[in-house]
Amino acid sequence: MSVFIILLLPLIATALVCIPFKRHWASGVTAVSCVAVLILSARIALQVAAGDSVVSTLKMGLLKWIAVDGLSALILLLIAFVAATAAIYSVGYMAHENLTPWKLRLYYANYNLFIFSMLAIPVLAEPTLVWIVVELTTLCSALLVSFENTREALEAAWKYVVLSLMGAGMALFGFLVLFAAMQASGSDGVYTWKGLIAAAPLMPPVLLQTAFLLILIGLGTKVGLVPMHTWLPDAHSQAPSPVCALLSGIETSAILYVILRLFPVMQASPNSHAETWALVLGLISVGTAAFLLLQVRDYKRMFAFSTVEHMGIILAAVGLGASAAGYGAMQQIVSHCVTKSFCFFAAGAVLMTMGTREISAVRGLIRRSPAAGAALVFGGLAIAGAPPMAVFLSEFSILKAGLTQKQYVATGLLAIFIVIAFFGIMLHINRMVFGAPENQNNGTTEKNHIEPQPVEKFHVPFSCRLALILAAVPVFVLGVYIPKPLQDLLTQAAAALTR
């Protein structure tokens, strides 16, 4: 029942924000609804972690396909967490943008619809319905990407829509073939993730493999796996920062979740090579992203490439195949979500302070705005995988699992790429935060427009600081200590990756 309320809340919020009312009405409603969703999701996650299963008691219409297990509960919780912090962050960030009331309402209406479409991904258990909500995430977020209506934002949104929908077309074909495979297996089960796993041993391997590859490539486009990643840095850098946090922090992982759902199905079929595909595609993504990270010029694009890197790490970890690696992959999803959303909040604070996205134009940030500078350093260290943080712990457990699996080549490559990415990210961030302000270099570069007031302080809005602090808590805490319920949830989620 509470799952139902979780899905309903964003829709109600969408309707409410459309009402023209006071200045902070839309942002307030959104924040309240997102926090409520977070509380309900946390309750469901606790319930699932304790061993109860959550299935819909209503047997009508779309509702009968609602089912939540460990893996879905984990993703649901993460979506709700990022949605809530991003909603709080939006209050200050959007107020800073000086928008017309109409435009502001448009933002929040889209925001809530986007949240709805994402929340529906983990709780629905019917693959074609999941495909539809995946498609809806693209469509609901397209206008958020193009929100600023600049040439670049429109270009990014168009690329995002066309490439994601192209992938979605392939994935649709894959899901239809999967349904055919289910029918061909002669099983009379329902077409759900569970039914698929049950029917998998009898499915014709050709159909199963075709479906898997089509879905891997189709949805992989939306995850940002490397040959299909070209839209990702554009869309994830041009959208308003809270939306970037959602897109990069959680949307990619939520789509990856759909791909992960197919692994237990594939394991039933002999020599399916699903793991090999995942490992190869994952390593290519990590490697390419690591080298591209060295040459970025835009700090939001930098974080976007780091998302490509992390998605690659997760997929490669699943490809390593052991249950320990599966646990590591789940841990990496959690740490990626909390850290990457924090990074984009930090990037948004920098953007508010400096008014530019260029790395070379931002120097001596720590003097302009200590809050933004400190957040950026913390975020950079955390996302690159510096020791006491969440990402370090999860990457470490993946590498450890890889070594115990005796996959030395793959693990070695993964380690090298992670190190390259670390230096790429820290190099840029170090320059931005601590580099000498431009005017001391005496105008050797063309960015004269920020020179005159290097010491003028900028204060990051209160709600943004609040969101930064809230998002920073798990980034730090999960690096040193994973609470028992979360541990149970991660174990259950990792178990859902194998038969």
Partner 1 sequence: MSDTTNQLLDNLNALAAGLFLLTAFGIVAMRQARGCMNLFIVQSLLLAASAALLGLRHHSAHLYGVALVNLISKPIIVPWLLRRTASAEIYTRREIDQVLNIPTALLIALALAILSYFLGQPLLNSVAPEFRGPNVPIGIAGLLLGAFTLTVRREALPLLIGLLVMENGAFFTGIAISRNLPLLVELAIATDGLIIVFISGVLIRAVQKHVGTTAVGELASLKEAAAEPAAKEAGK
Report the interface residues with partner 1, using CB under 8 A: 61-62, 126, 128-129, 132, 135-136, 139, 142-143, 146, 149-152, 154-159, 161-162, 165-166, 169-170, 172-173, 176-177, 179-180, 183-184, 191, 204, 206-207, 210, 233-234, 237-238, 292, 295-298, 301, 356-358, 361, 446-447, 449
Q: In this complex, which beta carbon is closest to partner 1, that of residue 210 or of residue 405? A: 210
Counted residue by residue, the chain has a size of 499
Question: Residue 493's closest CA among 303, 381, 341, 337?
Answer: 337
Q: In this complex, which beta carbon is closest to partner 1, that of residue 234 or of residue 395? A: 234
Q: Cβ of residue 497: shortest distance to partner 1, in angstroms?
A: 26
Sequential DSSP letters for 318-365 = HHH--HHHHHHHHHHHHHHHHHHHHHHHHHHHHHHHHS--BTTT---H
Q: SS3 of 54, please?
A: strand
Q: Cβ of residue 403: shortest distance to partner 1, in angstroms?
A: 33
Specify whether the CB–CB gap between 425 and 380 falls below 8 A.
Answer: yes
Q: In this complex, which beta carbon is closest to partner 1, that of residue 361 or of residue 377? A: 361
Structure tokens at 236: 């994830």
Q: In this complex, which beta carbon is closest to partner 1, that of residue 65 or of residue 378? A: 65
Question: Residue 435's closest CA among 459, 458, 454?
Answer: 454
Q: In this complex, which beta carbon is closest to partner 1, that of residue 118 or of residue 329? A: 118
Sequential DSSP letters for 106-175 = HHHHHHHHHHHHHHHHHHB--HHHHHHHHHHHHHHHHHHHTTT--HHHHHHHHHHHHHHHHHHHHHHHHH
What is the Cα–Cα distance from 458 to 119, expressed in whole angstroms? Answer: 36
Q: In this complex, which beta carbon is closest to partner 1, that of residue 165 or of residue 366? A: 165
Q: In this complex, which beta carbon is closest to partner 1, that of residue 135 or of residue 395? A: 135
Q: Cβ of residue 110: shortest distance to partner 1, in angstroms?
A: 10
Q: Cβ of residue 202: shortest distance to partner 1, in angstroms?
A: 12
What is the Cα–Cα distance from 475 to 253, expressed in whole angstroms? Answer: 17
What is the Cα–Cα distance from 211 to 319, expressed in whole angstroms? Answer: 18
Q: In this complex, which beta carbon is closest to partner 1, that of residue 180 or of residue 482? A: 180
Q: Cβ of residue 165: shortest distance to partner 1, in angstroms?
A: 5
67: β partners: 55
Q: Cβ of residue 36: shortest distance to partner 1, in angstroms?
A: 26
Q: Cβ of residue 274: shortest distance to partner 1, in angstroms?
A: 17
Structure tokens at 120: 């529906």
What is the Cα–Cα distance from 100 to 95, expressed in whole angstroms? Answer: 10
358: β partners: 298
Specify whether the CB–CB gap between 219 and 169 falls below 8 A.
Answer: no
Q: In this complex, which beta carbon is closest to partner 1, that of residue 246 or of residue 330? A: 246
What are φ and ψ of residue 423, in 5° steps? Answer: -70, -35
What is the Cα–Cα distance from 58 to 88, expressed in whole angstroms? Answer: 33
Q: In this complex, which beta carbon is closest to partner 1, that of residue 51 or of residue 270? A: 270
Of all helices (H) and strands (E), which one includes residue 398? helix 390-404
Q: Cβ of residue 179: shortest distance to partner 1, in angstroms?
A: 4
Q: Cβ of residue 13: shortest distance to partner 1, in angstroms?
A: 19
Q: Cβ of residue 438: shortest distance to partner 1, in angstroms?
A: 13
